[in-house]
């Protein structure tokens, strides 16, 4: 087995929540994608990070717009995750196939998400074949429900 395949198999053992990152550019185009590389970074100031493949347009759009949002999905939102995970999508002028809402700062979020964070761009740091996009959280929402999890390349649920 190659190191790359072993790396992927080992990381598949890490259960993670499923979230969608979105941004709306200065010219009104919206774009988003499903990510698993999401984490809190700092409480003071409140910072989060997402890691995005350098071939993806998202980091450039965030640098253009100056902000982005993270929607944390709940159980039952697999269709939103699948939509935003689909490769080859182009930016749109609004939500397509998936219902959405907008934060007070105008960033798009997935309608009905269990939680979301709206951020101003703090920095974008190149690291290997990805860019670490760091956001300063300026708005939040937290609801109730069961989180949508991803483990061993499949959606999962939390059990007691």
The per-residue pLDDT for range 32-68, each reduced to its tens digit, is: 999 989 999 999 999 999 999 999 999 999 999 999 9
Asked if 36 and 18 count as a contact pair (C-beta separation under 8 A), the reply is: yes
Is residue 80 scored above 70 in pLDDT?
yes
The answer to whether the bond into 45 is cis (omega within 30° of 0) is yes
Burial label for 77, CB within 10 Å (0-12, 13-18, 19+), is buried
Q: Can you tell me the mean pLDDT for 77-94?
A: 94
pLDDT of residue 149: 92
State the maximum Cα–Cα separation within the chain, in Å, rounded to a whole number.
49
Q: Which carries the bigger pLDDT value, residue 56 or residue 159? A: 56
d(CA 40, CA 87): 26
Asked if 150 and 139 count as a contact pair (C-beta separation under 8 A), the reply is: no
Is residue 159 scored above 80 in pLDDT?
no
Domains, the chain, ordered by start: 3-156 (2.30.110.10)
pLDDT of residue 54: 93
Is residue 148 scored above 70 in pLDDT?
yes
Asked if 81 and 148 count as a contact pair (C-beta separation under 8 A), the reply is: yes
pLDDT of residue 66: 95
Cβ-proximal residues to 88 (8 Å cutoff; 6+ apart), any chain = none
């Amino acid at each position: 087995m190659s190191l790359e395949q072993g790396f992927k198999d080992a990381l598949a053992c890490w259960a993670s929540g499923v979230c969608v990152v979105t941004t709306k550019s200065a010219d009104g185009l919206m774009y988003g994608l499903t990510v698993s590389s999401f984490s809190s970074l700092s409480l003071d100031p409140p910072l989060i990070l997402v890691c995005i493949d350098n071939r993806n347009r998202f980091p450039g759009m965030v640098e253009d717009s100056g902000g982005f949002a993270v929607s944390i999905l709940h159980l039952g939102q697999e269709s939103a995750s699948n939509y935003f995970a689909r490769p080859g999508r182009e930016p749109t002028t609004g939500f397509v196939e998936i219902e959405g809402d907008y934060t007070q700062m105008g960033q798009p979020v997935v309608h009905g998400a269990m939680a979301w964070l709206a951020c101003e761009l703090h920095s974008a740091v190149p690291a290997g074949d990805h860019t670490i996009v760091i956001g300063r959280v300026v708005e939040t929402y937290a609801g109730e429900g069961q989180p949508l999890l991803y483990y061993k390349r499949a959606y999962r649920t939390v059990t007691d």
